[in-house]
Amino acid sequence: MVRLDRVNLIAEMARKTMTLAELAEKSGVNVYTISGVRNGKSCTQETAAKLAKGLGVPLETILEKEA
């Protein structure tokens, strides 16, 4: 399981003026899963990769950095 950087995820969505529904459609990830990730829940590496692809950004852009 991985954690995404919520701020970067939300910022990328805003930069592309993308709603949860639009990201769900582009990434193939359920809206409820995206909502949970945006609220700090962990997700699988596969889900993270799908979200990055849906946003059109490298995976590293939205992954939470190790402290």
State residue 65's pLDDT score: 87
Angstrom CA distances, 64 to 9, 10, 25, 34, stand at: 10, 13, 23, 15
Domains and CATH numbers, the chain: 6-61 (1.10.260.40)
Mean pLDDT score of the chain, rounded to an integer?
Answer: 96
Q: pLDDT (tens digit, 9 = 90+) per residue, 20-38?
A: 999 999 999 999 999 999 9
Distance linking the first and last C-alpha atoms of the chain:
16
Band of residue 67 on the pLDDT scale cut at 50, 70, 90: low
Residue 15 scores a pLDDT above 90: yes
Burial class for 23, CB neighbours closer than 10 Å (0-12, 13-18, 19+):
buried
This model's pTM is above 0.85: yes
* Gap between the Cα atoms of 24 and 18, Å rounded: 10
